[in-house]
Structure 1
Amino acid sequence: MSSHWLKPYMPRSLYARAALILVVPVVVVLLVVSIAFMQKHLEDVTAQMTRNAVREVNLVTDVMQGAETQQEALAAAQPDMEALQMTARFLRPNEEPEVGKRRWYDFIAPQLVNELRGALPEFVAIALPRGQPVRLYLATDLGILELAFERRRLSPVAPHQLIVTMVFFAVLMTSISFLYMRNQLRPITRLAEAAQAFGRGRTVPYSPSGAIEVRAAGNAFVDMRTRIERQMEQRTLMLSGVSHDLRTPLTRLKLGLSLLPEDESAPLMNDVNEMQSLLDAFLEFSRGTAEGSPENVDPAVWLRQITEDALRVGHSVKLVSVEGQGTVSFRPMAMRRAVENLIGNAVRYGTCAEVSLKLTPKSMRIRVEDDGPGIPVGQRTEAVKPFTRLDPARNQNLGSGVGLGLAIVADIARAHGGALRLGKSENLGGLCADIIIGR
């Protein structure tokens, strides 16, 4: 429960999470080793080396104590400085110590300054130039003394080398691990893409690969996809046979009724026509997206053709707006049937319909609005269920609907990996139906 605040900041993709799991331990290990190395090793070694250097500096300054001039002081200390590999000089009266800028990666320098300042009361400054001897400035009775000696007398010459080496090999091994991890995650990504495409009504080539667990999941997906495709094919064949077998006796009934007197055959003919309508609606719902295969379609041209066809049959429909451009992969015949159902419902329960299209980089939205009575919020979930009639909301006397129109649209939208959303039209005041599918 306490980790909920962290979830919005965590990566969502499997690759990013695996990378985070890989990088965080490496960074933690580097930090721990670096801190332990600096505190437990470098600082102790530097302190010991600095104390030794201070004793040598005190030896040189003690020898100079009795001299009356700078030349005498330097001459007196010359034998000791040669033995200690030091050089010395006094600054001129107007000359200032040249300290210069400290290197950013010289993290031992602050400790050196603190150690020398505490151990040498006459300490003035110290210069730590790169690749040159250290210059230590001390205040004496004869003026400011400059002592020069090698940096390795105070601290390790390159204390940062260990950290640089660790960082280099950490980056190298992490890069190799990233390449290996990418190869291991690629089969999972391919499986996810194949499953997503199949959920949107497309079948892409896929063969299981990768680790044993990933292969097992891939084989299970292939078997599931094969069974679903086989069931869809069997359903299509069954519907074709049912359609043929049921339409034939209905046609014979119509022919037989046409031979009877009109006053006797009229009620029976109405029953036969109603049975025909029920059969057509049921077959249309059961057919789903069986016809056709996904194609790359320009939805603007495709939707404009549907509205023009609706106008020719006498529907009051208008394509009011098209936002975005590009192609979308879907089954054009199935989606056409869904849009035509929405337009048919709109002009049946209202007087006009407005159609709009909006394309984004990730989705396509087809909207159909009408000026009819609409559907109350509490009944919109029931409205998309098969064989549901909402008598209080929609006047069923205006048409011979059997409660499958919106169910067909919802089924087609789901088959494309999308959804049907119902709301209230802000422009016309009636029902607003959106078909939303991914691109």
Structure 2
Amino acid sequence: MPGLLSPLTRAVTYTRWLHLLASSVVPFVCAAIWPGLNSPSPDDWVIAVVPVPLALLAAMVPVVRRAEGLQARLMLFPGPHARVRSDADQGVSAVPSASLRDRARTAVWLVLRLEAGLIVALVTGQGMAFSLTFTGAALGRADVADPIVRLPGTGWAYGLLVPVIVLLTVAVAVGAGALMAMAARRLLGPSAKERLAELEERTERMLEHNRIARELHDSIGHALTLAVVQAGAARTAADPEFTDRALETVEETGRAALEDLERVLMVLREIPPPLGSRPALGEVDRLLDSARSSGAQVDAEVTGPLEQVAGPVSREGYRILQEALTNVLRHAGPVPVRVRVAVEEARLRLEVRNPLAAAAAATGTGGGSGLRGVRERAALLGGEARAGPEDGQWLLHVDLPLR
């Protein structure tokens, strides 16, 4: 019994009911104009088909589908207004019609909504009329309302039928609301083009989240690695002059990391960052100097016109080189490092070499998040990256197309 009465406690039962009753307004207005609502005969209700041409015409307007979708989302499905929560859209689209097929589906939906709403309104009206009539008959009056069937007499037994009529009326509303919800998913659901657009948008968001994660990993990770290495070296050296240089390096690196963090936060806040705010290969000397200040013996070879490298390639190349040096300092410490940056024909080549023993102990599998991020950056630009032992050294080689 509680299960049968549970629809009475759900707000969505009454929002669906209201949605159906609201759609009956147009047929009733048409019927009021002709033949009139004063004692209409059953044949007069054929006028209910009169709004159909109007519905078909309205469906040709693209924005009508958006309006119907928003109404269906709000009133036909459980949401914040109901005790039972579910997804916000339940597979119902809320965008204007973009094709003839969308308009045809919208037209079918409008006709169905008008006719179903009219039927539910008539059932609701008769349910109210019978409830009042049965109540009046139980009290000795049979002319309280005017239902389609007149009672043969009066008596207290009629009062027992009032709850039955109410429950039947609610049951009709619940069933009609459930059917309309199913129809909304079929007729107002997203088309194949909309699903593809939604998938593309979701993919773009995922790529943007991954890019932000890589940016934070590279910039903040690099800064923290340098700070840890510098602090350890300064504590071991016990030299005031070296300590001053180490603190200066930590300060500069921390300031650069804060700028990167502020830029990423601007992206998260959907504020466009200033043009040229992301570091590029033109600042490779600063990156190499920060690695040298941490005690690494960096032997760098930079050839080719770096200023002619396209912005996206230059910025990603900088981040790749930053991640490579960070991995060396994190896993191998201040060891000799050989860096090669070359712009050759239509390719940008980056190489970072360091002693194999220390690197292999920490990154021998090549499966760390840093190397994975390097491979992802290279793949997004149409290039490739490989890392592994070569000639007794650990080598990271990245090859990127300039266009």
Normalised by the size of structure 1, how large is the TM-score? 0.28
- Which one has a larger percent helix, Structure 1 or Structure 2? 2
Bigger radius of gyration among the two: 1
Normalised by the size of structure 2, how large is the TM-score? 0.30
